[in-house]
Amino acid sequence: MRKIGLTFSVVFLILMNALGQNRTIIGKVVNEQGGGIPNASVIIKGSKAGTTTNSDGSFSISVPGSANSLVITSLNFTAQEVNISGKNEISVSMLPSNTVLNEVVVTAIGITRSAKSLGYSVATIKGDEITKARETNIVNSLAGKISGVRVTGQSGTVGSGSKVVIRGASSLTGSPQPLFVIDGLPLDNSSPGNSFGNGSVDYGNRVGDINSDDIETISVLKGAAATALYGSRAKNGAIVITTKKGSRKSVATVTVNSSVRADNVLKLPAFQNDYSNGNYGVYSLKNVNGWGPKISDVQDVTVKDFKGDDVTLKAFPDNVKNFYETGITAINSVSLAGGTENTDYRLSLGNTNQTGVVPASKLSRYNINLNAGRTFNDKLSVRTTINYIRTTSVGRPSQSANDPNVLTSATFFPRTLNIQKLKNNYVDPVTGAQISLSSDKTGNNPYWIINNNQNNNELDRMVGNMVFTYKPFTWLTISDNVGTDFYNEYRRTKTRKGTFGQLDGAFSISQIYNNNFNNDLIATIDKRNVIKDLDLKVIVGNNYFQNSFRTLSVSAQNLTVDGLYSLGNAATKNIDNFYQRSSLVGVFGDIGLSYKNYLFVNATGRNDWNSSLPVNNRTYFYPSVSSSFVFSELLKSKKILNFGKIRAGWANVGSGTDPYSLDFTYTPATTYFVQYGLSGTFPSAGGLLGFSGPGTLPNANLKPQNQRSIELGAELRFLDSRVQIEATYYKTKTTDQIIRIDVPLSTGYFSKSINAGSVSNKGIEIDLRLQPVKNLQGFSWNIDFNFNKNRQVVDEIGGGLQSYTLNSAYSGLVIKASPGQAFGIWGTDWLRDPNGNIVINQSTGLRQTKTDVRFGDIYPEWTMGINNTFTYKAFSISGLIDIRQGGILYSGTVSGLRTSGLAIETLSNRGKLFVDKGVYLDGSGKYVPNTTPVQSMQDYWSQNYQSSNTVANVFDASYVKLREVRLSYAIPLNKRNATFIKSAEVGLEARNLLIIKDFVPHIDPEVNVFGPNQIGEGVEFYNVPSTRSMGINLRLSF
Partner 1 sequence: MRLINIKHVLLGASLILLSSCAKQLDINLSPNTATTVTPDLLFNYGITAWSANRTGGDSYIPFALSTQNQASGGNYGWGKGNVYDISPFSTGNTWRGYYATSGNNFVLAIKSAETATPVNNNAAAQCKILLANMIFECTTIWGDVPYSEAWTSTISYPKFDQQKDVFTSLIKLLDLASAQIDISSQLKISNYDIVFKGDMVKWKKFAASLKFKILMTMVDKDPTAATEIAALLTAGGMVDNATNDVLYPYTTESGKENPKFKILKQYAGGANIFFFANNNVFKYMAPLNDPRIPVYYQMGATATTFIPVETEDEADDNTATININTLFKPDAPDVIYTYQEQLFFEAEAYARGIGVAKDLAKADLLYKKGISEAMRYYGVDGTIYLGLLPSLTSAVDPVQEIHKQQWIDLIDRPFEAFLQWRRSGPEGSEFPTLVQPAGTPAGGFLRRWDYPQSAEIIPNINAPKTAIPFTTKLWFDL
Is position 607 an interface residue for partner 1 (rule: CB under 8 A)?
no
Is the alpha carbon torsion for 838, 841, 845, 847 positive or negative? Answer: negative
Phi then psi for residue 224, to 5 deg, are: -65, -30
Is position 501 an interface residue for partner 1 (rule: CB under 8 A)?
yes
Q: How far apart are CA 476 and CA 297, in angstroms?
A: 88
Query: Which 716-735 positions form the footprint of partner 1 (CB under 8 A)?
Result: none
| Upstream peptide bond of 178 is cis (omega within 30 degrees of 0) | no
Is position 673 an interface residue for partner 1 (rule: CB under 8 A)?
yes
Q: Tell me which stretch binds partner 1 (CB under 8 A): 178-186, 254-262, 629-637, 936-944.
A: 936-944
Is position 544 an interface residue for partner 1 (rule: CB under 8 A)?
yes
Q: How far apart are CA 67 and CA 51, in angstroms?
A: 15
204: closest CA among 125, 259, 138, 148? 138
- The DSSP code for 178 is P
Query: Which 860-889 positions form the footprint of partner 1 (CB under 8 A)?
Result: none
For residue 521, the minimal CB distance to partner 1 (Å) is: 5
Query: Which 390-409 positions form the footprint of partner 1 (CB under 8 A)?
Result: 404
Is position 410 an interface residue for partner 1 (rule: CB under 8 A)?
no
Interacting residue with partner 1 among 366, 388, 470, 513 (CB under 8 A)? 470
Interacting residue with partner 1 among 390, 581, 722, 832 (CB under 8 A)? 581
For residue 465, the minimal CB distance to partner 1 (Å) is: 14
Query: Which 640-659 positions form the footprint of partner 1 (CB under 8 A)?
Result: 659
Q: Tell me which stretch binds partner 1 (CB under 8 A): 214-222, 681-689, 867-875, 1002-1010.
A: 681-689
Binding string, 793-812, against partner 1, x = CB under 8 A? ------xxxxx-x-----xx
For residue 596, the minimal CB distance to partner 1 (Å) is: 36
Closest CB to partner 1 among 543 and 1027? 543
Is position 471 an interface residue for partner 1 (rule: CB under 8 A)?
no
Query: Which 546-575 positions form the footprint of partner 1 (CB under 8 A)?
Result: 546, 555, 557-558, 571-572, 574
Closest CB to partner 1 among 631 and 749? 749
What residues are paired with 265 via a beta bridge? 1027
What residues are paired with 600 via a beta bridge? 594, 628
Provide the 3-class DSSP secondary structure of residue 144.
coil
Query: Which 510-529 positions form the footprint of partner 1 (CB under 8 A)?
Result: 519, 521
The total number of residues shown for the chain amounts to 1038
Name the pairing type of β-strands 888-891 and 1019-1020.
Answer: parallel
Produce one character per residue of 147-185: b if its CB has 16 or more CB atoms within 10 Å, e if not.
bbbbbbbbbbbbbbbbbbbbbbbbbbbbbbbbbbbbbbb
Q: How far apart are CA 666 and CA 654, in angstroms?
A: 30
Is position 851 an interface residue for partner 1 (rule: CB under 8 A)?
yes
For residue 610, the minimal CB distance to partner 1 (Å) is: 8
Is position 841 an interface residue for partner 1 (rule: CB under 8 A)?
yes
Query: Which 173-202 positions form the footprint of partner 1 (CB under 8 A)?
Result: none
Is the alpha carbon torsion for 292, 293, 299, 301 positive or negative? Answer: negative
Interacting residue with partner 1 among 843, 924, 974, 977 (CB under 8 A)? 843
Is position 911 an interface residue for partner 1 (rule: CB under 8 A)?
no
Closest CB to partner 1 among 519 and 597? 519
Element (DSSP H or E) covering residue 1022 = none
Q: Tell me which stretch binds partner 1 (CB under 8 A): 667-675, 732-740, 776-784, 960-968.
A: 667-675
For residue 824, the minimal CB distance to partner 1 (Å) is: 14
Interacting residue with partner 1 among 748, 778, 929, 972 (CB under 8 A)? 748
Interacting residue with partner 1 among 852, 908, 917, 997 (CB under 8 A)? 852
Q: Are 332 and 350 in contact (CB under 8 A)?
A: yes
Q: How far apart are CA 446 and CA 1024, in angstroms?
A: 13
Query: Which 416-445 positions form the footprint of partner 1 (CB under 8 A)?
Result: 436, 440-442
Query: Which 224-283 positions form the footprint of partner 1 (CB under 8 A)?
Result: 279-280
- The DSSP code for 1003 is S
Query: Which 690-709 positions form the footprint of partner 1 (CB under 8 A)?
Result: 690-693, 695, 697
Q: CA of 381: how far to CAs of 344, 376, 384, 947, in Å?
A: 12, 6, 10, 62
For residue 402, the minimal CB distance to partner 1 (Å) is: 8
Interacting residue with partner 1 among 747, 908, 931, 979 (CB under 8 A)? 747
Q: Tell me which stretch binds partner 1 (CB under 8 A): 633-641, 743-751, 861-869, 871-879.
A: 743-751
Q: How far apart are CA 821 and CA 794, in angstroms?
A: 6
Name the pairing type of β-strands 888-891 and 919-921.
Answer: unpaired
Name the pairing type of β-strands 104-106 and 89-93.
Answer: unpaired
φ/ψ region of 845 (left if φ > 0, alpha if ψ in -120 to 50, else beta) reads: left
Query: Which 325-384 positions form the footprint of partner 1 (CB under 8 A)?
Result: 376-377, 379-380
Interacting residue with partner 1 among 821, 848, 868, 1013 (CB under 8 A)? 848
Q: CA of 263: how far to CAs of 260, 354, 356, 530, 967, in Å?
A: 10, 9, 8, 59, 18
Produce one character per residue of 933-943: b if its CB has 16 or more CB atoms within 10 Å, e if not.
ebebbbbbbbb
Q: Which amino acid is at 515?
A: N
Is position 844 an interface residue for partner 1 (rule: CB under 8 A)?
yes
For residue 359, the minimal CB distance to partner 1 (Å) is: 24
Q: How many residues bind partner 1 (CB under 8 A)?
A: 116
947: closest CA among 1017, 856, 849? 849
Q: CA of 182: how far to CAs of 142, 385, 408, 483, 850, in Å?
A: 16, 10, 36, 10, 49
For residue 193, the minimal CB distance to partner 1 (Å) is: 16
Q: Tell me which stretch binds partner 1 (CB under 8 A): 98-106, 485-493, 665-673, 730-738.
A: 665-673
Q: Are 980 and 1038 in contact (CB under 8 A)?
A: yes
Element (DSSP H or E) covering residue 320 = helix 319-323
Closest CB to partner 1 among 224 and 702? 702
Query: Which 275-314 positions form the footprint of partner 1 (CB under 8 A)?
Result: 279-280, 286-287, 291
